[in-house]
Structure 1
Amino acid sequence: MKLRRLRSFALALLCALPLARAAAADALVLMTDFGTSDGAVSAMRGVAYGVDPKLVVSDLTHQIPDYDIWLGAYRLYQTANYWPAGTVFVTVVDPGVGTDRKSVVMKTKQGRYFVGPNNGLYTMIAERDGVAELRQIDEKVNRLPGSADSYTFHGRDVYTYVGARLASGQISYEQVGPALPVDTVIRLPYEKPARAGNAVRGIIPVLDEKYGNVWTNIPKALFEELGIAIGDKVAVRISHGGKVVGRFVAPYRNTFGEVPKGQPLVYLNSLLEVAIAINEGNFAAQHKISSGLDWKVEISKQK
């Protein structure tokens, strides 16, 4: 009886080993401006699975507009905190590929890792989450074997390879390369949300692309300083390049269906930041509004 129990225990332990190994690997998340019309993303996935076939590889997006470092930084800010500690993000929006810009792995204070070029992609993550450590990738050691003569696809040859090895536990964070001062993370300059008398000001960092809702970087707490309650009317002024391009008045509501179809509203988006929309309509298209660092917004309570 004891021998039979011992055999059963040994069999259960052997069966559990693959599960334990899979649980030990952290998720690998890919974000690029490559699109999916060619084989670039598939090649990156192939490298990751070549490192460890058991890795869980997911996509944040591959539809960042060409070379748009700011939008890449925002999509990381929008998404990263919904992934567990230990997740490794491979981020490739890299117009300086092959130049002397540094390839790094940034570790946040929450324990997530960001692998890519130090070119501003980590602006908002560094500000919100804090930088625990920063390391430069030693490309002589940590590079896809046989790729030394390739200078234009670091997303495949360096970042995915390093990210997959880090996520799978094949290398430690310390083995990535030499430590850098945490304050050398490059940050893009942009206008922070701020109170301005009886108004709050910010920028339109992105659009809710699918529906044309206009997102701002004005957080709930700052907005609430204006004393605006659900149902109050809100005055919105939008400018681009220093020129006012639109003035609007809309009620502050919790959600779209609280106003009639085709009518505007001000609401808090999924990040609890102020946004403007039309119920079952496209606010940005209707009013010719776009987004970026030079799109400014001012919000106040309508008297």
Structure 2
Amino acid sequence: MIKKLLTVLLISVAYLSHAQNKIVVFQSDFGVKDGAVSAMKGVATGVSADLKLYDLTHEIPAYNIWEASYRLYQTVNYWPAGTVFVSVVDPGVGTARKSVVLKTKTGQYIVTPDNGTLTLIAESLGIAEIRQIDEARNRRKGSEKSYTFHGRDVYAYTAARLAAGVITYQQVGPELPKQVVKIPYQKAVLEGGTLKGTIDILDIQYGNLWTNIGDDLVKQLNVKVGDMLHLVIYQNGEKKFEGDAPYSDTFGEVAKGKPLAYMNSLMQLSFALNQGSFADIYKIGSGSDWSVVVSRK
């Protein structure tokens, strides 16, 4: 009996520590030229001055839900269980889209509109649970007539209350089925000696192309350093680029300005020009409408 009670106690302590580590990480498409981000942090600090507030990014291109989804995928897994993320890229603010808090199977929480932002997190980390925010309970006092800044009035407020332990996860609101709105895209596959995938994102500072094709698939194709890869890039099915790049460990293995294929920091196949911008020179973008087909020459 005592052993059983101790087990229950340990589980309860673990749960509380996950839900109350006091870390909130903000992401938005607001930029930092005005006071929107500061307002969200002010609301969070008003809930508890003990919270630790961080930024993922506020430079998501306006309305770009796919990039919001990717930046969460790129980042969330590196934060400890119990961290609460606020992601506000919300072109449908004030409409019928649901405001939710998703708990990943690794214990992080994402507070966001369910508008596609959760596409990649749901697939990569899994959904332990998802709850719709009860705005009658979890909304900043005095904001009931505001319909255009849920990031401040609902999301930052709810996230802060959850991270600070003012509310439990169950008090966020009613539980929903473990389903989210998903943006369709080309999944990474190996078919008949050809790799297919999406250009998920640009390594924006350098103009490199990051795909969703993992190193496991590249190994299955038996690609070795020095092998030449042939790639064809499409936007919405229309060919935008075709060319070759050697598979390399480092950028210095090719001459300045020359293309290469390599594994990025997430161990996914990527393409670059050594000390040049592949994206700018060849007018390549990223997102769910950009796909790539790769084969060995």
Check if 1:273 corresponds to 2:268.
yes
Aligned to 1:230: 225
State the alpha-carbon separation in 2 of the partners of residues 160 and 262 from structure 1.
Answer: 44
Aligned to 1:69: 65
Aligned to 1:35: 31
Q: Which amino acid aligns with 1:287?
A: Y
1:109-258 mapped onto 2 (5 Å cutoff): 109-183=105-179, 185-258=180-253
Check if 1:300 corresponds to 2:286.
no
* Contact persistence 2:21–2:83 (CA under 8 A): no
The structural deviation recorded for 1:182 is: 1.1
Check if 1:88 corresponds to 2:84.
yes
State the alpha-carbon separation in 2 of the partners of residues 151 and 46 from structure 1.
Answer: 19
TM-score, reference length from structure 2: 0.91
Q: Which amino acid aligns with 1:87?
A: T
* Contact persistence 2:228–2:244 (CA under 8 A): yes
Aligned to 2:258: 263
Q: Which amino acid aligns with 2:237?
A: G
Identity fraction in percent: 56
Query: Which consecutive residues of structure 2, in runs of 5 or more, have no partner in the other structure?
Result: 1-16
- Any runs of at least 4 consecutive aligned residues in structure 1 with deviations exceeding 6 A, and if so which? none
The structural deviation recorded for 1:243 is: 2.3
Q: Which amino acid aligns with 2:183?
A: L
Query: Which consecutive residues of structure 1, in runs of 5 or more, have no partner in the other structure?
Result: 1-20
Residues 145-184 of structure 1 deviation map (CA, whole Å, 9 limit, x = unaligned) = 111111110000000000011111111101111111112x
State the alpha-carbon separation in 2 of the partners of residues 39 and 96 from structure 1.
Answer: 21
The structural deviation recorded for 1:63 is: 0.9
Tell me, what secondary structure is at the counterpart of 2:196?
A: strand
TM-score, reference length from structure 1: 0.89
289-298 or 114-123, which deviates more? 289-298
The structural deviation recorded for 1:139 is: 0.4
Tell me, what secondary structure is at the counterpart of 1:293?
A: coil
Which structure has the larger Rg over C-alpha atoms?
A: 1
Q: Which amino acid aligns with 2:42?
A: G
The structural deviation recorded for 1:249 is: 1.2
State the alpha-carbon separation in 2 of the partners of residues 154 and 96 from structure 1.
Answer: 11
The structural deviation recorded for 1:191 is: 1.3
The structural deviation recorded for 1:258 is: 2.3
State the alpha-carbon separation in 1 of the partners of residues 182 and 233 from structure 2.
Answer: 25
Residue in structure 1 matching 2:93, options 86, 92, 97: 97
State the alpha-carbon separation in 2 of the partners of residues 260 and 268 from structure 1.
Answer: 18
Aligned to 1:8: none
State the alpha-carbon separation in 2 of the partners of residues 148 and 114 from structure 1.
Answer: 23
The structural deviation recorded for 1:241 is: 2.7
Q: CA RMSD in A?
A: 1.3
Tell me, what secondary structure is at the counterpart of 1:38?
A: coil
State the alpha-carbon separation in 2 of the partners of residues 238 and 43 from structure 1.
Answer: 41
Residues 108-135 of structure 1 deviation map (CA, whole Å, 9 limit, x = unaligned) = 1101000011111101100111101111
Check if 1:290 corresponds to 2:285.
yes
The structural deviation recorded for 1:141 is: 0.8
